[in-house]
Structure formats: structure tokens, C-alpha cells
Structure 1
């Protein structure tokens, strides 16, 4: 694939999209940064993109040969809007697509799992990234990060379950390789950090790095669901609490070498991220 092509980054102001756009432009690639408000992104051409407004898709796809796809957040049936867009993209000359999914959603599973299943039938060059939970959940605007800052606690229903938390910078690095390497991965890549950690482990590391005491407070599924239901729709709260319950049962207790295999360097540890993003704010 030519390095002179144009890459469309959907969700270019989000956690992974912003990093993908930044890493692509830093490497000299031409990027269209797509977001609902066409927000400026350094080094990229901002374009307006709304999953539910097909009129924005035509302009976004003009001249593009690669696309980083972040499905609409919170949509229980993203395939209904993403698949028509991907078919339109292929017809418009896009040759390679990299889809962001999640480690908890298998090919053919619910929601974005259906997009994952259809992707190889639309594009000859493709990749599906299935990252574990983001390390940035503890450093940004996520509920965990806020409760760490305000109360010194992390509330979950994960018990002692462990997660291969992954740095969003590593997810972006894999995405950039998947988009620009001569050969597309044509694979489903589960992305994790170098170790599986419990939320107790996370609390210990944050405490050591910041010097402020942080504790993991385990809740039952029902306690977490009811707590979250005060902040969001009930069915979404139940889904999130169920994901914690799944972690407690061991479904995310795994580590892969996908980051190293694709980028040539090891995945970053949570302690390294905490020292980078939390230490200076302590």
C-alpha cells in the first residue's frame, strides 16, 4: 500500500482516534480527521462525520484509501449504520479498513461483533483490533479516574478478577501499523498490556506512584448496577455491571504478544503509564 494515500480516522478526537491521527501525521502520512464537529486535529484535515448522517460520508471518503473505524458509541446495533458505510467506502476506493472492537466481543458476537464478522467479505486488506480495558480509564475522565481523584477509591464488581489492561498509545501504534504496513494483518488482534492485574493491583500501583492512598472497594453485581443506574440508562448500567461480573469469572485474565508482534516493541506496563500520566499531577 502506498504511503502517500489518505487515511480517514473516524472518532479522531477520542481516546484511540486522537492517538492514531497524531501518530500517523507524525510519521508523515496524510490524514482526514473525522468527528461530529470537524474539530481541528494537529497536522490533519478536519472533516465532519456523523454515523447517522450519510451525507457526511461522501465528503469524508473523498480521496481516501484507508480507514480507521470506530463504531458509534452506545448503539446496540452498530452494524445497521457501519456496514452500509463500509460498503460505500469500498465502492469509493478504500482498500484497507481497521476496525476497533473489544476483547470481550468475539467475531459474530453482539453489536460490533457483527461488523467484525462482515469485514473480511468487504475488504481484501483488513484488521480487527480487540483491546482489553484501557489503562486510561484510571487517568482521564472515566468514572474510575474521577473516583480515584475525589474519593481515593475504585468501585467495581470484579472481585479478584484480573485484566490485561492496555495503553491506548499501544492500541494506536498497532492501528498505525495495521493501516500503513505493506501487508495488512488480515487478522483479529487481541491487544493487552504485558501483565494481567486485579483492581487491587491497580490501586496499589496508583498509591505508590502518586503517594495518595487509593483502595479498591468491591461491590456486588446488584450494588454496582444500582449505583451506575443513577448515572445512565438502566440497561446500560446492567450491561457494565455484567462486564465486571465477567471479569470476576476470569474472562479477561490473559496476556497476548500482539503489540510486540505488530509494532516490534513490548507493550507498556500500567506502572509506566501511571508514572507518565499521574506522577506529575501528584
Structure 2
């Protein structure tokens, strides 16, 4: 990648988008930071972008030759808006795309799985990032983090199932390599942290780091689905509850070496991330 190449980061104010944009800028790359309010970010060119407003696509794509894709949040069928954009992106000269998906969603699966399936047919250079659940879910603005701050509890139907929780900084570091290396991975990459932890383990570490007791409350599948459905559409709530059930059945009990292999350093532990982010008041 040369200094004249430009990456369009969609969702540039979000958890991984903001970190990816910052790391690209720090490495000397040009970034168009796309968000619904065209929020200025240090060193970037802010641009307004809304998945549900195709009139914003053209300006966002102008001058960009690669794109980091954050799907629309909470949409059970993101392909309906993403595929027309990606076709327009290819026509506009974008030749590399990096898509944020999930370790829980396979190619051709529900939600963003359909976009994953289509990506290789649209771009010669592509990558699908499939990270495990974010460590920042417990330290940032996610419902888990709010529940911890307000009530000292984590509510899931995941039982004692373990997850290779990953730091969003590590996801961004892999995204930068996928966007800027001379050769794109042209595959999907499952990203995890260094160890698989249960939500009980997370609660214990949070208790030790914060000095305030945090407990994991084990909910049933139905209770989890119904609780989520009061906040988000039922279809999406059901999908999230299904993911908890899959965790309980061991689907996320794994770790990979992808972060180390692509960045040259090991991924951060949950304890290190909790100490870092809580110390900064996140």
C-alpha cells in the first residue's frame, strides 16, 4: 500500500472502526472515516454514510480503493443494503474489502453470512474477520457493561460455556494488516484472545480488577430471548439467544493463533484489557 491509497472505514466511530481508523493513521495511511454524522476523527477525512441512504454512498466511495465494512447494527438481513453498496464500490474502483463478521456465523449463514458468501465474487482481494465476542462488551457501552456498572451482574444463557473473548484493539490490528499488506488473505479469519473463559470467569476477573462484586446470573434460553426482545426486534433477539445456547453447548470454546500470526505479537488477555480500559474510565 502506498501513501496515496485511501481506505474507507465504515462505522468509523464504532468499537472496531475507530480503532482501525486510528491504527491506519498511525501507520501513515489515508483514511475516510464514514459515520452517520460525519464525525471528525484525528487525521481522517470525515464523510457522512448511512447504510439506509444510498445517496451517501457516492461521496463516501470517491477516492477510496479499499474498504473496511461494519454491517448495519441489529439488522437481521444486512445483505439487502450491503450488496448494492458493494457492487457500487467495485464499480467505483474499490479493489479490496475487509468485512467484520462473527466467529458464530459461517459463510452463507444468517445475517452477515450472506455478505461473506458474496464477497469473493465481488472483489479479487478480500478478507472476512470472524472475531469471537468482544472483551469490550464488559468494559464499554454494551448491555453487559451497563449491567455490570449498574447492578454488578452479567445476564446470559451461556451457562458454563467458554468463549475465546478478544480485544477490539487486536481485531483492528488484524484488520489493518488485511487492508494494507501487499497480498490480501483472501479467506476468513477466526480471531480469539489467548484463552477461553466462561462468563463466571469474566465475573471473577471483573470483581478482582474493580474491587466490586460482579456475578454471572444464568438465565434460560427463553428468558434471555424475551428480555432481549424488549430492546431489539424479536428475530434479532432470537438469533442472539441462539448464540448464547451455542456457547453453552461449547461452540465457542476455542482459541486460534491468527492474531499472533498476522501481527507478530500475542493477543491481549481479558485481565490486561479490563485493567487498561477500566483504569481509563471506559
- SS at the partner of 1:190? strand
1:100 CA drift (Å): 0.6
Q: Distance in 2 between matches of 1:90 and 1:193?
A: 33
Corresponding residue for residue 47 of structure 1: 47
Report the counterpart of residue 165 of structure 1 in structure 2.
165
SS where residue 188 of structure 1 aligns?
strand
TM-score by length of 2: 0.96
Aligned equivalents of 2:77 and 2:229: distance in 1?
A: 21
Distance in 2 (CA, whole Å) between partners of 1:30 and 1:279 is 31
Deviation per CA, 1:145-170: give whole Å up to 9, x if none. Answer: 11111111111111100000000000
CA contact (8 A) 1:209 1:279 kept: no
C-alpha spacing 1:235/1:108, structure 2 compared with 1 (3 Å) = closer
Measure how far apart 1:121 and its partner are: 1.1
**Is the Cα–Cα contact under 8 Å of residues 210 and 279 in structure 1 kept in the other structure?**
no
Matched-pair contact (CA < 8 Å) for 2:101–2:112: yes
Residue aligning to 1:278? 278
Q: Note the 1:1-282 alignment, pairs <5 A.
A: 1-279=1-279, 281=281
Shift of residue 238, structure 1, vs aligned partner: 2.5
The answer to whether the 8 A contact 1:66-1:97 is kept is yes
Q: 1:280 deviation in Å? A: 5.3
1:235, 1:125 → 2: CA distance?
33
C-alpha deviations, 1:44-68, integer Å up to 9, x for none? 0000111122221111111111100
Counterpart secondary structure, 1:224: helix
1:196 Cα deviation from its structure 2 partner: 0.4
The RMSD of aligned alpha carbons is 1.4
Report the CA distance between 1:237 and its aligned residue. Answer: 2.5
Distance 2:113 2:220 in 1: 28
Whole-Å Cα distance in 1 between the matches of residues 230 and 81 of structure 2? 29
Distance 2:226 2:72 in 1: 25
Shift, 1:41, TM fit:
1.0
Once residues 279 and 47 of structure 2 are traced to their aligned partners in structure 1, the CA distance between those partners, rounded to angstroms, is 35
Q: How far 1:281 moved relative to its partner?
A: 4.7
| In 1, Cα distance between equivalents of 2:217 and 2:207 | 14
SS in structure 2 opposite 1:16? helix
In the alignment, the residues of structure 2 paired with residue 3 and residue 127 of structure 1 have an alpha-carbon distance, to the nearest angstrom, of: 21
Q: Is the 8 A contact 1:191 1:256 kept in 2?
A: yes
Q: For residue 278 of structure 1, give the secondary structure of its aligned residue in structure 2.
A: helix
